[in-house]
């Protein structure tokens, strides 16, 4: 069986439309409860976190009802970053964790991400099992074994202390003026607190969530507000997170953006110097820039590429025993510290390099010259298969022929939105635009 509900990062969609409806999420909670219960006893628990979307209240209650109906005890964290759920699953010795979030998507979307008892996101096989359970009758617990729900008031602050503990003990952020953009999302309390407690002068933006402004004109997907704040306040650097704070973009003192590739290049080189980059390898996806691969190769380091999705990066890291990976989009995974991408943790590591070296963000954030890369998206209606159309296949073959020996073309469906993503790399800007536009026009026509 293939997955129908789960994409590259859990289940995601528009709130109150299939699959993100309250009744389906309730059934999903019950199916997950049955999947994670090891035996018939009542000593089972699941940790639930969420971001700041209005629909989070609805889905939190639906999940709680489904899970407790099968005998799972639910521990509610409230608004916390996604990596806090992975951390708390292990800390609380829970059987599973759930994050209610659509990450960088607009507020009208929401999603469900599952974590196993080890704090890592579920495998494809586990997701298929849960989907299969939805098609079967799910036996509820006996009345005396219905689960309980309890709110964990200090979960956020446990996460704050954990993230602070990863910052080098001999360093402080005194003297650094840091803009932190929390995207009106899950880290709106945690990120400013961590930076201030470590000594930085903090300029917080995107810290007034109202349920509908998450990721709106702010955060890692729209850094214009942070760039203006850096210049206006004469800040040294900006740390821009997304709605659930598992992604980060770094802005230097001039407001210039460093994406995940540049951040990973910095960390990989530094860790290699310290002989703590496992296997001399960085794990990234097929979307990462060719310039990153060349940069690592010049240092006798390896770039191991995976399918798109931080979950696939983590799976490759675990399989190969590697400890650093991520995505161009800003997921930075450091398994020495966390089980999933953590934007705040990665931001702290960048700030630590600024303090350790005394170099400005503009020097540290541009490790290599990227090969020109163009990415465009086409939205399509659910149920359509535009990539299967003959005119699209013809356009792809023509584009690949034009790029042969000069660059590369990558076309894929988004795993989180109904989008076709068309990306090409080529040092000839004219050719780059031509091949991407030709494929985009074909997809639109289909």
**Active-site residue (options: 69, 103, 220, 329):** 103
β-bridge partners, 373 = 425
Q: What confidence score (pLDDT) does residue 95 get?
A: 94
Quick: pLDDT tens for 133-175. 888 888 899 999 999 999 999 999 999 999 999 999 999 999 9
Query: Which tokens is 324 given?
Result: 């650093």
Burial letters for 180-211: b for 16+ Cβ neighbours within 10 Å, e otherwise?
Answer: bbbbbbbbbbbbbbbbeebebebbbbbbebee
CA distances from 307 to 304, 313, 319, 327 (A): 11, 8, 15, 10
Strands 177-181 and 149-151, sheet pairing: unpaired
- Per-residue confidence (pLDDT) for residue 405, from 0 to 100: 86
Check residue 42 and give its pLDDT. Answer: 57
CATH of domain 11-153: 3.40.120.10
What is the mean predicted confidence (pLDDT) over 377-390? Answer: 85
Tens of pLDDT, residue by residue over 324-334, are 999 999 999 99
Q: Do residues 285 and 423 touch, judged by C-beta distance below 8 A?
A: no
> What number is the average pLDDT over the span 102-107?
95
Share of the chain above pLDDT 70, in %: 98
Residue 1 clears pLDDT 60, i.e. is over it:
no
* For residue 434, cis peptide bond before it (omega within 30 degrees of 0): no
Contact by Cβ (8 Å): 251, 262: no
Chain-wide mean pLDDT for the chain?
A: 94
Rounded CA-CA distance 30/138 in Å is: 7
CB atoms within 10 A of CB 228: 14
pLDDT of residue 416: 72
* Model pLDDT, residue 306: 96
Query: For residue 416, what is the DSSP state?
Result: S
Q: Is 288 a catalytic residue?
A: no
Write the CB contacts of 11 (distance below 8 Å, at least 6 apart in sequence).
5, 19, 20, 28, 111, 112
Phi, psi of 318 (to 5 degrees): -70, -40
Which has the closest alpha carbon to 76: 288, 59, 201?
A: 59
pLDDT, tens digit, for every residue of 330-378? Answer: 999 999 999 999 999 999 999 999 999 999 999 999 999 999 999 999 9
Q: Taking residues 6-26, what's their average pLDDT?
A: 93
Q: Is the pLDDT of residue 39 over 70?
A: no
Q: Is the pLDDT of residue 412 over 60?
A: yes
DSSP state of 226: H
Mean pLDDT, residues 68-88: 97
Take residue 245 and report the two structure tokens written for it. 């704070």
Segment 404-430 shows an average pLDDT of: 88
Task: Give tens-digit pLDDT for 192-226.
Answer: 999 999 999 999 999 999 999 999 999 999 999 99
**Neighbour order of strands in the sheet with 407-413:** 373-379, 419-426, 407-413
pLDDT 10s digits, 420-442 = 999 999 999 999 999 999 999 99
**Which CATH architecture fits 373-445?**
2-Layer Sandwich (3.30)
Interval 222-236 mean pLDDT? 98
CATH of the domain spanning 158-244, picked from 1.10.10.60, 3.40.120.10, 3.40.225.10, 3.40.50.1450: 3.40.120.10
- Three-state secondary structure along 251-298? ECCCCCEECHHHHHHHHHHHHHHCCCCHHHEEEEECCCCHHHHHHHHH
Same fold across 11-153 and 158-244: yes
Residue 14 has pLDDT above 80, yes or no: yes
- Which sequence spans correspond to the domains of the chain? 11-153, 158-244, 260-346+356-364, 373-445
Q: How far apart are alpha carbons 102 and 106 in whole angstroms?
A: 8
**What kind of fold does domain 260-346+356-364 have according to CATH?**
Alpha-D-Glucose-1,6-Bisphosphate; Chain A, domain 3 (3.40.120)
Distance CA 370, CA 293 (A): 10
């Amino acid at each position: 069986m293939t997955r129908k509900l789960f994409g590259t990062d859990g289940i995601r969609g528009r709130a109150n439309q299939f699959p993100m409806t309250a009744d389906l999420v309730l059934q999903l909670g019950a199916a997950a409860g049955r999947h994670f219960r090891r035996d018939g006893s009542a000593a089972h628990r699941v940790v639930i976190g969420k971001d700041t979307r209005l629909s989070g209240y609805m889905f939190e209650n639906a999940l709680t009802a489904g899970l407790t109906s099968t005998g799972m005890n639910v521990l509610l964290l409230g608004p916390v970053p996604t990596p806090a759920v992975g951390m708390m699953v292990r800390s609380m010795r829970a059987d599973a964790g759930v994050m209610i979030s659509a990450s960088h998507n607009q507020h009208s979307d929401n999603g469900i991400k599952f974590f196993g008892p080890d704090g890592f996101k579920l495998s494809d096989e586990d997701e298929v099992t849960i989907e299969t359970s939805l098609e079967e009758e799910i036996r509820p617990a006996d009345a005396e074994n219905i689960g309980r729900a309890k709110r964990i008031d200090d979960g956020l602050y446990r996460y704050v202390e954990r993230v602070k503990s990863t910052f080098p003990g001999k360093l402080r952020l005194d003297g650094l003026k840091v803009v932190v953009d929390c995207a009106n999302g899950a880290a709106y309390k945690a990120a400013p607190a961590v930076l201030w407690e470590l000594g930085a002068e903090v300029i917080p933006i995107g810290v007034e969530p109202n349920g509908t402004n998450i990721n709106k004109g702010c955060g890692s997907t729209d850094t214009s507000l942070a760039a203006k704040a850096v210049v206006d306040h004469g800040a040294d650097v900006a740390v821009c997170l997304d709605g659930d704070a598992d992604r980060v973009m770094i802005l230097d003192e001039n407001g210039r953006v460093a994406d995940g590739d540049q951040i990973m290049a910095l960390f990989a080189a530094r860790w290699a110097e310290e002989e703590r980059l496992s296997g001399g390898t960085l794990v990234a996806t097929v979307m990462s820039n060719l310039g990153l691969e060349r940069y690592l190769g010049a240092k006798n380091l390896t770039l191991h590429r995976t399918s798109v999705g931080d979950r696939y990066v983590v799976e490759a890291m675990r399989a190969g025993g590697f400890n650093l990976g991520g995505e161009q989009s800003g997921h930075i995974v450091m398994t020495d510290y966390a089980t999933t991408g953590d934007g705040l943790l990665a931001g702290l590591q960048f700030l630590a390099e600024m303090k350790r070296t005394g170099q400005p963000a503009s020097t540290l954030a541009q490790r290599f010259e990227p090969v020109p890369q163009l990415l465009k998206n086409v939205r399509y209606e659910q149920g359509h298969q535009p990539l299967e159309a003959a005119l699209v296949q013809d356009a792809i073959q023509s584009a690949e022929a034009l790029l042969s020996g000069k660059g590369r073309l990558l076309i894929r469906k988004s795993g989180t939105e109904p989008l076709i993503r068309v990306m090409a790399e080529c040092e000839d800007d004219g050719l780059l635009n031509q091949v991407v536009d030709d494929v985009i026009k074909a997809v639109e026509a289909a």
